[in-house]
């Protein structure tokens, strides 16, 4: 158990080994591990962020759907209203049109009646003249009496 | 070449000769005068080779370390890295990455590798060495059972401890602490303070190094005794083998535990140097 030069040699070897580890072994391992730890932490944070973003998006989409539903029902309501309005309008239009047509027809009928009356009048006068002519052939001058008869016919 | 050949006469295989042979270092004088200037070639070669091997393996992995999905090798190295880093983090509250944590990793892996040499059967090592170096060649495979190794590590840590103390507190602050703590600043307690700190500074490297040395040396001696028993006959061989296996298994715990304790004490001492009393 004698202390000798081996001690110094071993101390130098120890110093060299420490220097080697400090310089070449520890830093790359530390960098690799710390980088990985940071990456994992970042990944977890990103996952958390994604989760909360998903929640926000879900809420947003729900709100959008609700809004769309409301709008749709509004639109349907408006459309219904508008539809009934159109029907009412159409009804009104049809009524006025019908009235108009009816009035026209009445006017036409009146006209026809008048025309028929006119025709009848002239025919009656012609018939009357013919009858009177037949009756009065002998004694009445056609010329003298036609004036009186046409006056009579106009009065009918 | 070996210096201690005084007992060549009892080369006939005796128990004392067997143990003597296994506990002798392959010592070479580095200058003419021998004495202190002797190098234990076995200790030095084994420790440097093991240091290069473990730190080299870790470096090969660290060089290509990726922050993405790690390979199995990288996962294993990161396991050790995380273990050491966690221990240091709990003890030392400062920038541990610039020096203390890598030092702890070096100490842990290197001491673990050197302790692990105890698993090599002692007589296989002797057999291989005598095959290459002749019958008298000596080779101790466990560098940490050489007091020089454990003292070298403990003293290096001790010097670092004083260095960090002075670096953090300043020379004045360090001297102040040496004389004015732990008992206070009254004049009559100053010698007491200094004595107290002196004992602390002496006991730290001693307990640090002797704990590891004692465990490893004792482990080796037990293996040698079991080897001796095996030489006594058939029953001795059987029981020696069974107990040797048991001791080896128990030694796995000791090897890992002593490496861990040595690392923890290194970290604790260096952390204490950064803090005031």
**pLDDT value at position A141?**
64
Q: Could you say which of A4, A21, A35 has the minimum Cβ distance to residue B102?
A: A21
Which residues of B are less than 8 Å from A32 in CB distance? Answer: 65-67, 70, 74, 78
Q: Does B188 touch chain A (CB under 8 A)?
A: no
Q: Which helix (H) or strand (E) holds A139?
A: none
Q: Catalytic residue at B98?
A: no
Nearest CA of chain A to the CA of B4: how many Å? 13
Q: Do B67 and A31 touch (CB under 8 A)?
A: yes
Smallest CA-to-CA distance from B151 within A30, A68, A2 is with A2
Give the tens place of pLDDT for each residue, A41-51. Answer: 999 999 999 99
For residue B222, list its beta bridge partners.
none
Segment-wise mean pLDDT, segments of 10 residues, chain B, 277 residues? 36 73 81 78 91 94 89 93 95 92 96 92 81 77 91 95 92 89 83 91 94 93 87 86 90 94 95 82
Q: Whole-prediction pTM value?
A: 0.74
Interface touch B103/A25, C-beta < 8 Å: no
CA distance B89 to A23: 20
Cβ of A29 within 8 Å of Cβ of B78? The answer is yes
* CB pair distance less than 8 Å for A33 and B48: no
Residue B262 CB neighbours (<10 A): 27
- The per-residue pLDDT for range B76-95, each reduced to its tens digit, is 999 999 999 999 999 999 89
Q: Which residues of B47-81 are buried (b: 16+ CB within 10 A; e: fewer)?
A: bbebbbebbeebbebbeebeeeebeeebeebbeeb
CB of A41 within 8 Å of any CB in chain B?
no
Q: Which of B163, B153, B164, B255 is nearest to B205 (CA)?
A: B153
Name the DSSP letter for residue A2. -
Residue range A110-135, pLDDT digits in tens:
998 998 888 888 888 888 888 877 87
User: 3-state SS of chain A: helix, strand, coil percent to 5?
Assistant: 95, 0, 5
Q: Determine the distance in angstroms separating the CA of B173 from the nearest CA of chain A, rounded to an integer.
A: 27
Q: Among B141, B86, B139, B140, which residue's Cα sits nearest to residue B108?
A: B86
Selected catalytic residue, list B130, B148, B211, B248: B211
Q: Does A39 touch chain B (CB under 8 A)?
A: yes
pLDDT digit string (tens) for B133-181?
Answer: 776 778 888 999 999 999 999 999 999 999 999 999 999 989 988 888 7
User: Does A31 contact B at CB distance below 8 Å?
Assistant: yes
Is B26 marked active-site?
Answer: no
Mean pLDDT of A82-108: 93
* Higher pLDDT among residues B199 and A153, named by residue: B199
Confirm or reject contact between A36 and chain B (CB < 8 A): yes
b/e map B102-121, b = 16+ CB within 10 Å: bbbbbbbbbbbbbbbbbeee
pLDDT on residue B26:
81
State the smallest CA–CA distance between residue A43 and chain B in angstroms.
13
Q: Do B36 and A4 touch (CB under 8 A)?
A: yes
Give the gyration radius of chain A's Cα atoms. Answer: 60
């Amino acid at each position: 158990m004698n202390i000798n030069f081996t001690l110094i040699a071993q101390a130098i070897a120890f110093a060299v080994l420490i220097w080697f580890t400090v310089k070449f072994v520890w830093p790359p391992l530390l960098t690799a591990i710390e980088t990985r730890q940071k990456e994992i932490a970042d990944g977890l944070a990103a996952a958390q962020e994604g989760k909360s973003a998903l929640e926000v998006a879900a809420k947003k989409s729900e709100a959008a759907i609700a809004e769309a539903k409301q709008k749709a029902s509004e639109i349907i309501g408006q459309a219904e209203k508008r539809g009934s309005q159109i029907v009412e309008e159409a009804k009104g239009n049809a009524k006025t049109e019908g009235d108009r047509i009816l009035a026209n027809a009445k006017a036409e009928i009146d006209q026809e009646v008048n025309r028929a009356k006119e025709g009848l009048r002239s025919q009656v006068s012609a018939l009357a003249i013919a009858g009177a002519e037949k009756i009065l052939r002998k004694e009445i001058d056609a010329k003298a009496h036609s004036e009186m008869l046409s006056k009579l016919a106009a009065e009918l | 070449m070996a210096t201690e050949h005084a007992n060549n006469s009892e080369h006939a295989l005796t128990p004392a000769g067997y143990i003597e042979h296994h506990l002798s270092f392959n010592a070479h004088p580095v200058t003419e005068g021998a004495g202190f200037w002797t190098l234990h070639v076995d200790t030095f070669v084994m420790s440097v080779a093991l240091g290069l091997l473990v730190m080299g393996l870790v470096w090969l992995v660290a060089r290509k370390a990726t922050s993405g999905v790690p390979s199995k090798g990288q996962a294993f190295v990161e396991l050790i890295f995380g273990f050491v880093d966690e221990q240091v983090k709990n003890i030392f509250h400062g920038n541990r990455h610039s020096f203390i944590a890598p030092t702890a990793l070096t100490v842990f892996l290197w001491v673990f590798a050197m302790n692990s040499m105890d698993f090599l059967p002692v007589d296989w090592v002797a057999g291989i060495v005598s095959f290459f170096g002749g019958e008298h060649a000596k080779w101790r495979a466990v560098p940490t059972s050489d007091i020089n190794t454990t003292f070298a590590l403990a003293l290096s840590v001790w010097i670092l401890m004083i260095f960090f103390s002075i670096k953090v507190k300043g020379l004045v602050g360090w001297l102040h602490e040496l004389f004015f703590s732990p008992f206070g600043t009254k004049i009559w307690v100053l010698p007491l303070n200094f004595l107290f700190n002196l004992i602390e500074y002496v006991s730290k490297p001693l307990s640090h190094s002797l704990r590891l040395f004692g465990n490893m040396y004792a482990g080796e001696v037990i293996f040698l005794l079991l080897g001796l028993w095996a030489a006594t006959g058939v029953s001795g061989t059987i029981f020696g083998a069974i107990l040797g296996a048991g001791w080896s298994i128990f030694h796995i715990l000791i090897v890992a535990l002593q490496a861990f304790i040595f690392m923890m004490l290194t970290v604790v001492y260096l952390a204490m140097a950064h803090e005031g009393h």
